[in-house]
Amino acid sequence: MPYPSQISRETVLEKALDLLEIGGVENLSLNKLAAELGVKAPSLYRYFNSKAELLKAINMATVESLVETMRSAAVGEDPVETAQAMTRAYREFAKKHPASYSLAFGTLPEEMQPDHMYMEALALPLQAVMSKIVGHEDSLPMLRGVWALVHGFVMLEISEQFRRGGSVDEAFEKAVRSYIHGWKQGRADGAARPRSHQNSASRRSG
Amino acid sequence: MPYPSQISRETVLEKALDLLEIGGVENLSLNKLAAELGVKAPSLYRYFNSKAELLKAINMATVESLVETMRSAAVGEDPVETAQAMTRAYREFAKKHPASYSLAFGTLPEEMQPDHMYMEALALPLQAVMSKIVGHEDSLPMLRGVWALVHGFVMLEISEQFRRGGSVDEAFEKAVRSYIHGWKQGRADGAARPRSHQNSASRRSG
DNA sequence: CCTCAAAACTAAATGCGTTAGTCTTATATC
DNA sequence: GATATAAGACTAACGCATTTAGTTTTGAGG
């Protein structure tokens, strides 16, 4: 090997994650990142073809970490308890790594999104637990709801939208519990509700 | 008035909203925006002190529109039906204006966030309905959960995370219904669950 | 010793937001 | 009608961003 390598794909990724969590995504520039690594910005292109590719790699690492976190939280006997433990672990992860979580799961251009497999790896363990609660048939829609609930909750928390006092922890616990119990009980209902189709006002705030 | 005014605060805002919905936030540059208005970029600074201020104005307009949309959807007698109608309207709005919704409610620097009043104006009508369902006492935590559920759902939809088939519309309807019913029923429980505190693994994916 | 190629570098293009200063012109006043 | 005022546009330029192209440094192998 010629020229003693100062950086590698891994060291770049690690330092990028550090900078990301410190200053948010808008403070993660290739200049700063390179400077932190004792190198100039163009050198990073030996390891990543673009900044987008770097961010995608970061996001995949984030999803992997989150999957691992949830996996290790899925230990209980009672599936309802297990589901709560997993969602709790999910929330703790997101609050511990707010910048990288927001980056990975926020709205971002297709090219920076983790591959589908990574997202499925995230979804499947939780869906398995849903399956135990409401059966295989309903497990997908139930998964979507619980994921939405947890994701929405932590996103609102991260952007500090819960400013009106009261225990946010308890609100989270109760929300998840209510959702699960509501679904279990609701399987008896069955009757489809009417869906409104046309909404008036062609332009906003008519 | 001297020099025939080519643009105004309002025309800038309207065109910015157009560009935002067409190309997403990363395609909304002051250069392009000015060019669309037949003007050069620095001229925009007569009407907004910074791009951040422009984006904040956009976001406040978005929240206002959403508030109005939900208000006009809150018409029913049964509070549960009303809550579903409001969340349905919320979701329809977000899907109709995905870029501006994501911008306003995604993770963004404090300075671009709508003022607190706007967010409260959004929350209060929905909380009033929650209040009718579970009482004033529980209305805040219940509101937080339903907002999280709806927000998370539409954010995941916008970033196309529901790719595995099945009716997403029905999943949404059922999720909201389950959450509300679960909360109503759950008010009898009362017993607090144990909360885990220490989670192992100091660094990610240990 | 000389060649090769990996891994860094410099230089520069393009585009971004932003600031400072300048020109243009509609209106109000004499 | 001439003139002063000031609003509303303009050009020029700075600093930083990502990215490309071409060059230099440096260790290892023949």
Which comes out higher in pLDDT, residue B192 or A110? A110
Q: Say if residues A127 and A139 touch (Cβ distance below 8 Å).
A: yes
Residues A113 and A176 in one domain: yes
Instruction: Assess if residue A206 is contained within a domain.
Output: no
CB contact under 8 A, B174 and A196: no
| Closest listed residue to residue A175, CA positions, set B199, B151, B85 | B151
CB contact under 8 A, B179 and A177: no
Instruction: Assess if residue B182 is contained within a domain.
Output: yes
HSE of B192 in the Cβ direction (CA atoms, 13 Å)? 6
Nearest-by-CA chain B residue for A81 = B193
pLDDT tens, residue by residue, B33-61 = 999 999 999 999 999 999 999 999 999 99
Instruction: Assess if residue B132 is contained within a domain.
Output: yes
pTM of the model: 0.91
In angstroms, the CA of A113 and the C1' of D23 are apart by 36
User: Which of A149, A166, A170 has the CB atom closest to B148's CB atom?
Assistant: A149
Please provide the average confidence, as pLDDT, over all residues in chain A. Answer: 91
Residues A44 and A96 in one domain: no
Predicted local distance difference test score (pLDDT) of residue A3: 63
Nearest-by-CA chain B residue for A151 = B152
Q: Say if residues B114 and B74 touch (Cβ distance below 8 Å).
A: no
Residues B149 and B97 in one domain: yes
Which comes out higher in pLDDT, residue B31 or B190? B31
CB contact under 8 A, A175 and B145: yes
Contacts 24+ apart (CB under 8 A), B86-92: B86/B125, B86/B126, B86/B129, B87/B146, B87/B150, B87/B176, B88/A195, B88/A196, B88/B173, B89/A199, B90/B66, B90/B150, B90/B154, B91/B150, B91/B153, B91/B154, B91/B157, B91/B172, B92/A199
Residues A11 and A76 in one domain: no
Residues B15 and B75 in one domain: no
Instruction: Assess if residue B122 is contained within a domain.
Output: yes
Contacts of B177 in chain A (CB under 8 A): 182, 186, 189, 193
pLDDT tens, residue by residue, A12-50 = 999 999 999 999 999 999 999 999 999 999 999 999 999
Count CB-CB contacts under 10 A for residue A97: 20
The answer, for B180 touching chain A at a CB cutoff of 8 Å, is yes
pLDDT of B1 over the 70 cut: no
Compute the distance between CA of residue B101 and CA of residue B21 in angstroms, rounded to an integer. 10
Compute the distance between CA of residue B58 and CA of residue B36 in angstroms, rounded to an integer. 17
Instruction: Assess if residue A201 is contained within a domain.
Output: no
Q: In this structure, which amino acid lies at residue B40?
A: K
Predicted local distance difference test score (pLDDT) of residue B2: 52
Which CATH number covers residue B100? 1.10.357.10
Residues A41 and A62 in one domain: no
Q: What is the 3-state secondary structure (H, E, C) of chain B?
A: CCCCCCCCHHHHHHHHHHHHHHHCHHHCCHHHHHHHCCCCHHHHHHCCCCHHHHHHHHHHHHHHHHHHHHHHHCCCCCHHHHHHHHHHHHHHHHHHCHHHHHHHHCCCCHHHCCCHHHHHHHHHHHHHHHHHHHCHHHHHHHHHHHHHHHHHHHHHHHCCCCCCCCCHHHHHHHHHHHHHHHHHHHCCCCCCCCCCCCCCCCCCCC
Nucleic strand D under 7 Å from the C-beta of B196? no
Instruction: Assess if residue A2 is contained within a domain.
Output: no
pLDDT of A161 over the 70 cut: yes
Instruction: Assess if residue B2 is contained within a domain.
Output: no
Range of the domain at B24: 7-48
Predicted local distance difference test score (pLDDT) of residue B9: 97
Residues A40 and A92 in one domain: no
Q: Say if residues A65 and A93 touch (Cβ distance below 8 Å).
A: yes
What is the band of B189 on the pLDDT scale with cuts at 50, 70, 90? low
Angle at CA A149, nearest 5°, toward B140 and B157? 125
The answer, for B135 touching chain A at a CB cutoff of 8 Å, is no
Which CATH number covers residue B14? 1.10.10.60
Nearest-by-CA chain A residue for B94 = A204
Residues B144 and B179 in one domain: yes
Which comes out higher in pLDDT, residue B205 or B179? B179
Instruction: Assess if residue B17 is contained within a domain.
Output: yes
Number of structural domains found in chain B = 2
DSSP-assigned letter for residue A152: H
Residues B158 and B103 in one domain: yes
Predicted local distance difference test score (pLDDT) of residue B186: 81
| Closest listed residue to residue B147, CA positions, set A168, A160, A149 | A149
Q: Say if residues A21 and A76 touch (Cβ distance below 8 Å).
A: no
In angstroms, the CA of B121 and the C1' of D20 are apart by 50
Mean per-residue pLDDT, A107-124: 96
Phi, psi of A142 (to 5 degrees): -70, -40
Residues A14 and A85 in one domain: no
Please provide the average confidence, as pLDDT, over all residues in chain B. Answer: 91
Predicted local distance difference test score (pLDDT) of residue B178: 98
pLDDT tens, residue by residue, B86-120 = 999 999 999 999 999 999 999 999 999 999 999 99
Residues A143 and A74 in one domain: yes
Predicted local distance difference test score (pLDDT) of residue B192: 42
Nucleic strand D under 7 Å from the C-beta of A41? yes
Per-residue buried b or exposed e for B74-99, using 16+ beta carbons within 10 Å of the residue's own CB: beeeebbebbbbbbbbbbbbbeebbb
Number of Cβ pairs closer than 8 Å across A and B?
198
pLDDT of B122 over the 60 cut: yes
Residues B12 and B75 in one domain: no
pLDDT of A198 over the 80 cut: no
Residue B44 C-alpha, separation from nearest chain A C-alpha, in angstroms: 23
Mean per-residue pLDDT, B12-29: 97
Nucleic strand C under 7 Å from the C-beta of B30? yes
DSSP-assigned letter for residue A202: S
